[in-house]
Amino acid sequence: MTSFADLRELEATLAAMASVECEEPGLTELEHGLQCAALLRAAHPLDLELQVAGLVHDIRQGPDHDRAGADAVRPIFGERVAALVGMHVRAKRYLVSTDAAYRERLSPVSVYTLGLQGGLMSVGEIADFEAGGFARDAVELRRADDAAKVIGKEVSGLEEWLPVLRSVASAQL
């Protein structure tokens, strides 16, 4: 499936992620997404699209989960949310390439997947990333993604995010 038929299908997929273990043992994909969204809400309380991108950034699995996730959410949440979801892997590559201390903060699993995702960016890739739209927001999402791996951290549950999801989706109509 490339995209969700409607918001209810996406909400059901998010709920099902409560039983899918994240790449970080002891944490589910839903817990990870909720933590990411909460971090973005705290840092950017008025930016609902950025928060939603944090919640849904790992909605798809596999090696191309960033692109597949972007394609899946675009019809519901629009271009900005889709772009941020689609850029979160490149943002990791960008940060590793431009911030010497960043790699030291990555989890062992993130270091491993970095190699699978293309590793360091070339000078041209860095320039393309910086010139593209939403680069700053993609970096914010990436930093939240990296920090959203705390086992047992208390954050708002999915039911509290449903009105936000619906608000962002209805703004795209």
Indicate the SS3 state at residue 150. Answer: coil
Residue 78 domain-assigned? yes
pLDDT score of 5: 86
- Give the span between the Cα atoms of 151 and 159, in whole angstroms: 20
Instruction: Return the pLDDT at 129.
Output: 98
Q: What are phi and psi of 68, to 5 degrees?
A: -65, -40
What is the rounded average pLDDT of the residues 11-31? 94
Give domain status of residue 111, yes or no.
Answer: yes
pLDDT tens track for 134-152: 999 999 999 999 999 999 9
- pLDDT-based confidence at 108, cuts 50/70/90? confident
Q: Compute the mean pLDDT over every residue in the chain, rounded to the nearest whole number.
A: 95
Q: Under 8 Å CB-to-CB from 147, ≥6 apart: which residues?
A: 35, 36, 39
Average pLDDT over residues 14-21: 96
Residue 17 is assigned to a structural domain of this protein? yes
Instruction: Give residue 154's domain range.
Output: 7-170
pLDDT digits (tens, 9 = 90+) for 112-138: 999 999 999 999 999 999 998 999 999
* Total domains present in the chain: 1
Query: Residue 83 domain-assigned?
Result: yes
Residue 23 within any structural domain of the chain: yes
- CA-CA distance, 76 to 72, in Å (whole number)? 8
- CATH for 57: 1.10.3210.10
Sorting pLDDT into bands at 50, 70 and 90, what band is 109?
Answer: confident
Cα(143)–Cα(61) distance, integer angstroms: 20
Residue 2 lies in a domain: no
Range 44-49 average pLDDT: 98
Flag whether 1 is in a domain.
no
**pLDDT score recorded for residue 106:** 86
In this structure, what is the dihedral angle of CA atoms 80, 149, 14, 48, given to the nearest 10 degrees? Answer: -30
